[in-house]
Structure 1
Amino acid sequence: MGYKIKKAGLEDLDTAAALFNDYRVFYRQADDYEKCKKFIQERLDNEQSNIFLVYLEGNAVGFVQLYKLYHYIKLQKQWLLSDLFVHPDYRGKGLSIALIDYSKQWCIETGACGLMLETEKTNDIGNKLYPRCGFEYDGNHNYYYWWK
Structure 2
Amino acid sequence: MEYTIRKAGLEDLNETAGLFNLYRIFYRQESDMEKGKAFLKERFLNGESDIFLAIADGKAVGFVQLYKLFHYTKLQKQWLLSDLFVHPDYRSKGLSIALIDRSKQWCEETGACGLLLETEKTNEIGNTLYPRCGFEYDGTHNYYHWWK
Correspondences of 1:33-72 after superposition (within 5 Å):
33-72=33-72
Report the equivalent of 1:77: 77
Report the equivalent of 2:100: 100
SS, match of residue 108 in structure 1: helix
Report the equivalent of 2:127: 127
Counterpart Cα distance in 1 of 2:19 and 2:6: 14
Counterpart Cα distance in 1 of 2:51 and 2:33: 17
Counterpart Cα distance in 1 of 2:56 and 2:133: 21
User: Please, which runs of 5 or more residues in structure 1 have no aligned partner?
Assistant: none
Report the equivalent of 1:114: 114
Which amino acid in the other structure matches residue 134 of structure 2? G
Q: CA deviation at 1:6?
A: 1.2
User: Please, which runs of 5 or more residues in structure 2 have no aligned partner?
Assistant: none
Deviating above 3 A after TM superposition, structure 1's stretches of 4 or more consecutive aligned residues are none
Counterpart Cα distance in 1 of 2:33 and 2:57: 24
Counterpart Cα distance in 2 of 1:6 and 1:58: 13
Q: How does the TM-score come out when normalised to structure 1?
A: 0.99
SS, match of residue 130 in structure 2: helix
Q: Deviations over 1:78-100 (max 9, x none)?
A: 00000000001100000000000
Counterpart Cα distance in 2 of 1:10 and 1:60: 14
Q: How does the TM-score come out when normalised to structure 2?
A: 0.99
Structure 1 position 145 matched with structure 2 position 145: yes
Alignment: residue pair count: 148
